[in-house]
Every structure is written in structure tokens, then in C-alpha cells.
Amino acid sequence: MAISDNLRGVAYMCLSMLAFTVNDTFMKAVTAEVPLFQVIFLRGLIAIAGLVAMGLVTGAFRQKLVGGDWGLIGLRSVAEIFATLTFLIALLHMQLANLSAIMQALPLAVTLSGALVFGDRIGWRRMLAILVGFAGVMIIIRPGTDAFDIWSLMGVASVVCVVVRDLSVRRLGPHVPSIVVALGAAVTVALMGLGLSALPTEGAGLEGMTGWQELTVVHLAQVAGAGGCIVVGYLCAVTAMRWGDIGLVAPFRYTSLLWAILLGFVAFGDLPDGWTMIGGLVVVASGIYTLLRERAVRRAPAAASRASG
């Protein structure tokens, strides 16, 4: 039985979320003891090496790109820099599952942005589901309560950056290899980590983020694990958004919340509180509904055609 492009996109998205969540677990563990920007740079080197090797094997670098392609890759790479910064800084100060719950708003934000930017059609039911999902985010971050802090806003800012990153891929032609797109992001993020690691720590609010220190064997293993996972995550995320319909594939990001709860408990002994779980479930349910509604909308014309035939 042939696998449809949408099903292939869904599979890539699920694998991407698992890889990124394992990467997050490694990053949270190692950055508790090693400066953040040093880790970003070292992880980037591993990611670059893996992507270059894969590009050489697959012949991806032989493909000629035009100026517009490079512009979109550059835009995605810049968005990746800010998405990485905001996410990892938030991760330093938040539980893995709590931050992951906020990030579940991504499918809804991407679907809404796809309508605003590209004119994708969204009916009132899906629009209502998006609004309910955003209400779920408000339950998670709880503005005006003791649970609300700047790190929650960092997580929301990361959502915005990832939306820009993902939407920029849609304009790329099918001739642009996913490895080239991923490599552009890996290089820019690694250079960002190297540059920021040299910043002074005192008086800049960057304690625990800048500078360099010697790594233990455990640290090296954690960085290597994060680097390997980021390669898989990069490639699968780019491929998923290019194979499947954006409104269909994006909701499957919610699987990362399940992995974040499990890995957060196993690795750090953390479990989200009740309000975070409720808000996360609201967001996930909204995402699942948009998926089901998207399927129903797409099937309606085909069913009408069969009936008239």
C-alpha cells in the first residue's frame, strides 16, 4: 500500500518531536553545569559535521540554488537563532514539561499564520479551536499569578520565532535539499553560540551562560547526544513541513508533550502541576480538532464528486 505525502509528513513530524525532546533533555542536563553558549556551539559543531556528511553522501550540495532560495534559507536560519535562544534560556529556568506545554501552541499558531500569510482557508470551527488553544496557553502561563514569570514569556517568544521559521520553508521549491536548509540553520546557530560565549558575564544577566569550562566524559556524552538528536530533528522537521499539508502535519507536534512529561520525570523528577496539565490538554485537544476538521474539509469535495458521478 502506497504511503501518502500527508502520512509521510506526519511520520516525519512525530519522529522530529521525539528527537527534539531527547535533545532538550540532554541540553537541560548539561547546561545545569556547563555554560549555555559553549554547549550551543559544541552541539552545533556535531550537527554541522553530521549534516555535511549526509549532504556529501546524498549529493545534496550538487544542487544549484537561486538567489531567492538562499534568501529564504537565510530567513529561516535567523529565525532559528532567536528560536534557539529564547527556548534554551527558558529551558534553563523551567520544567521541561511546562515549556513543552507552551510549545504545543505551535500547530495552532502555524495554522493561523498560514491563513494570514498564504491565504490558507480556515473555517469558523477551526478558528474557534485556535482561540480555545490560545486560551489553553493562558492557563499554562497564568498571567497575573505567582506562576507567571519572564521565562514563560520566553517560551511564547520561541513559539513566534518557530512559526516564522516553519512558514519560510513553504516558499522553497522542491529542488532545494532539506539537508541544505538544515545545515544553514546549524551553522548560524553554532556561530551565534560561539560569539555569545565570549560576552562578559558580570553585570549582563548572563550568569551561567557565557565563558568556557573543561568538560567531563558525562558532559561530552550529553553534548554528543544532543548533537545527534538535533540532526535528526532538523531533517525530519524540514521534511515534514515540505511533504505534508501544513494544517494536517503541524498538529502532530503535540506528541512532544507526552515525551516531555515522561523524560522530565525520568531525568529530573519533575511533573507539571494541575493547571499546566489542564492547559496543555486544552491546547492539544484544540490541535487534534483542527486535524480532524482539516480532514473533513478536504474529504467533502471528493465525496460530493463521487456522489454526482
How many domains does the chain fold into? 1
The residue that leads in pLDDT, 85 or 108, is 85
Question: Over 50: is that where the pLDDT of 251 sits?
Answer: yes
Asked if 207 and 14 count as a contact pair (C-beta separation under 8 A), the reply is no
Between the ranges 68-82, 242-256, 285-299, where is the mean pLDDT highest? Answer: 68-82
Task: Give the integer Cα–Cα distance in Å for 145 and 34.
Answer: 32
Task: Give the integer Cα–Cα distance in Å for 294 and 80.
Answer: 28
- Write the burial class of residue 218 (CB in 10 Å: 0-12 exposed, 13-18 middle, 19+ buried): exposed
Q: Looking at the domain assignment, is residue 73 inside a domain? A: yes
Asked if 103 and 258 count as a contact pair (C-beta separation under 8 A), the reply is no
Instruction: Place 205 in a pLDDT band, splitting at 50, 70 and 90.
Output: low
Q: Which residues contact 93 (CB under 8 A, 6 or more apart)?
A: 149, 151
SS3 of 233, please?
Answer: helix
Q: Looking at the domain assignment, is residue 305 inside a domain? A: no
Instruction: Place 202 in a pLDDT band, splitting at 50, 70 and 90.
Output: low
Q: Tell me the pLDDT tens digit for each residue of 92-107.
A: 999 999 999 998 888 7
Q: Which residues contact 11 (CB under 8 A, 6 or more apart)?
A: none
Instruction: Place 293 in a pLDDT band, splitting at 50, 70 and 90.
Output: confident
Task: Give the integer Cα–Cα distance in Å for 71 and 58.
Answer: 23
Q: Looking at the domain assignment, is residue 209 inside a domain? A: no
Q: Looking at the domain assignment, is residue 306 inside a domain? A: no
Q: Looking at the domain assignment, is residue 79 inside a domain? A: yes
Task: Give the integer Cα–Cα distance in Å for 224 and 111.
Answer: 34
Q: Which domain range does residue 47 map to? A: 5-203+214-300
Between 34-38, 65-69, 271-275, 294-298, the lowest mean confidence (pLDDT) is in 294-298
- Write the burial class of residue 294 (CB in 10 Å: 0-12 exposed, 13-18 middle, 19+ buried): buried
Task: Give the integer Cα–Cα distance in Å for 309 and 304.
Answer: 9
Query: What is the predicted pLDDT for the residue at 1?
Result: 47
Task: Give the integer Cα–Cα distance in Å for 181 and 69.
Answer: 9
Q: Looking at the domain assignment, is residue 259 inside a domain? A: yes
Rounded mean pLDDT, 180-187: 89
Q: Looking at the domain assignment, is residue 309 inside a domain? A: no
Asked if 165 and 80 count as a contact pair (C-beta separation under 8 A), the reply is yes
SS3 of 34, please?
Answer: coil
Question: Over 80: is that where the pLDDT of 299 sits?
Answer: no
Q: Tell me the pLDDT tens digit for each residue of 15-32.
A: 888 898 999 999 999 999
